[in-house]
Structure 1
């Protein structure tokens, strides 16, 4: 693995673990009386971050790529809370920073590592040519 690829892998990993820890600490320790049940908080805020954790720890590019879809929820949540709740604004800013760094780390790692492993997406021109050839052979 190239050194810059490794950097983005660790950026994603540290940000992921940091975000998981931060969200858990925010909702259970810093603001424990939000009016939601423990099950609801676990289901909505903690479980989505646990789902890609194994693949991120193992350094799988595909997991890093789809983890970005999950991260968008935390980014939107952070911006919403930063705008709507002055009391929790700094908590939300930390969530925004961790979400952004994880998004950057996951995106760039998935792209670089995918290319290193030869798993990159083909150009549309090449894909169309191969499809045309398969179609011609099947006639």
Structure 2
């Protein structure tokens, strides 16, 4: 059970770090480095950030089910990341970072959903057995 706790903790920390990294990447890209300038890109930034921002309370609370739902949403971001890598030279570097962050977040959130729920179930069973 200690091994499961360590796995859940590592994947949760990785999820939070890559989640924050993805938000920072969007902010830097759309507010500073975008090849079209920084005019009205705040709307596109909001379209990228707001769906992810809806997961902030559940990510911080460590709910495994919310991590699983985040994985479904991340599939759309993954498609866009691959398109950013393959579409133009201007977005290639952004797309590589984007793909790496989305893949890391997806994998760690998926593993946390699995290991976190297993740990919660085993903890609950152990607590019930001790009572």
Alpha-carbon distance in structure 2 between the residues aligned to 1:93 and 1:47 = 22
Q: Which runs of 5+ in 2 are unaligned?
A: 123-131
Superposition RMSD in Å: 2.0
- 1:24 matched to 2:56: no
Alpha-carbon distance in structure 1 between the residues aligned to 2:32 and 2:15 = 25
Runs of 4+ in 1 over 6 A off after TM superposition: none
Tell me: CA distance 1:78–1:105, structure 2 relative to 1, closer, same or farther (3 Å).
Answer: same
How many residue pairs match? The answer is 119
Out of 95, 99, 102, the residue aligned to residue 98 of structure 2 is: 95
What TM-score do the two structures reach when normalised by structure 2? 0.82
1:10-61 alpha-carbon deviations (Å, 9 max, x no partner):
1111000100110111111111636983453144211111111221122111
* Correspondence for 1:7: 10
Alpha-carbon distance in structure 2 between the residues aligned to 1:44 and 1:32 = 18
Alpha-carbon distance in structure 2 between the residues aligned to 1:32 and 1:85 = 11
- 1:61 matched to 2:64: yes
Q: Which runs of 5+ in 1 are unaligned?
A: 120-139
Larger Rg: 1
> Normalized per residue, which structure has more helix?
2
Tell me: CA distance 1:98–1:48, structure 2 relative to 1, closer, same or farther (3 Å).
Answer: same
